[in-house]
Amino acid sequence: MLFVTGATGYLGSALVDLLVKEGHAVRAMVRTPAKASVLPPGVEHFAGDISDEDLLAEGMKGCDGVFHFAAAMGASWEESREGNPGGTGRILRAARRAGVQRVVYTSSSAAIIRPDGLVSEQNENATGLVDQYSVTKKEAETVVFDAVRDGQDANIVNVVNAYGPSPAGPQSYNRLLLAAAGGQVPVVVDAQVAWVLAEDVARAHLLAYQQGEAGKRYVASGEVATFPRVLNEFNRLWGVSPEIEVLPRGSDIPRDRLWGHAIRSEVYGKLGPMTIDDTNARALGFAPTGIGRGLQVTVDWLRSIGAS
């Protein structure tokens, strides 16, 4: 039995779907029952959240592994610290109490990116970004490494910009893609970052659980490409050609012209062009989908679910 937090979210639901397809028994932690409809039949639902260590330990009884996806996003500093390093600490302690063999923690490239843009599995436990999500995810990694030093079997998967099909629907960077196609994104910064399909992220987590080592990071990254390239390619596949202005690296997007996730192009534009060292993940057999194929898969999926 495998226990999954954040199981009804964008990436967590993609992992649950993969686990079920591969014959694993899954116990999914569900905070909001209405969202449980995204989970496939046969998945055991466990009501709760990451704020209660005793409840978590109860839910993990009989489980061999834990995948910890739940995170605080877009919250205050206090809420982010409570949800990210705080929640991760409770997950790890609960897993130890329940006798769980391995914990796989979902982190982000934002937690380890250097000012020069390097995202490496060997990077120090530091980030070149200053927002509360990036900093508190970095702090949560510190909690994981401390637990490993105390003898716990845990590793980390660092996810880059995620997009593509998920049982939870068109969340994450799918929203930016659809907004661009709808003419709602007037401008982005010419920032180079890495992109990865949600289904590839799920595969990276399963590989980290099955073959990974305690205390190691595994970067779940696909191809590196600029925001303009990805948005323009998506628009071409979608059959539209709205004009998107491109600002040079280091620019600020005027706030009256800013749309949602487009701000990440500004954030990453302040750093060096992103480069990836995913040697550990590739050694496990991780083979992500390229941008061209990934965007086509995404377009086909979005059309199939009637997204616009």
Q: What is the pLDDT of residues 107-119, one digit of tens each?
A: 999 999 999 999 9
Cβ neighbours of residue 140 under 8 Å, at least 6 residues apart? 84, 85, 87, 88, 105, 107, 111
203-213 burial, b for 16+ CB within 10 Å, e for fewer? Answer: bbbbbbbeebe
**Res. 209: pLDDT tops 90:** yes
pLDDT given at position 273: 97
Q: What helix, strand, coil percent values describe the chain, rounded to 5?
A: 45, 20, 35
pTM summary value: 0.97
What is the average pLDDT across 1-25? 98
pLDDT in tens, 166-191: 999 999 999 999 999 999 999 999 99
What is the average pLDDT across 15-35? 95
What is the average pLDDT across 24-28? 98
pLDDT in tens, 253-302: 999 999 999 999 999 999 999 999 999 999 999 999 999 999 999 999 99
User: Chain centroid to CA 224: how far?
Assistant: 16
pLDDT given at position 232: 96
**Res. 5: pLDDT tops 90:** yes
**Res. 75: pLDDT tops 90:** no
pLDDT given at position 210: 98
Query: What is the percent of the chain where pLDDT is above 70?
Result: 100
**Res. 73: pLDDT tops 90:** no
User: Chain centroid to CA 164: how far?
Assistant: 12
pLDDT given at position 74: 80
CA angle (279 as vertex; 275, 285 as ends), nearest 5: 125
pLDDT given at position 227: 98
pLDDT given at position 21: 98
pLDDT in tens, 221-253: 999 999 999 999 999 999 998 889 999 999 999
Structural domains in the chain?
2-160+196-220 (3.40.50.720), 163-194+224-300 (3.90.25)
Distance CA 146, CA 88 (A): 11
**Res. 51: pLDDT tops 90:** yes
What is the average pLDDT across 81-97? 97
Residue 72, CA distances (Å) to 81, 115, 130, 270 in order: 8, 24, 16, 24
**Res. 126: pLDDT tops 90:** yes
- 34 or 288, which is more confident? 288
CA angle (195 as vertex; 286, 34 as ends), nearest 5: 90
What is the average pLDDT across 114-134? 97
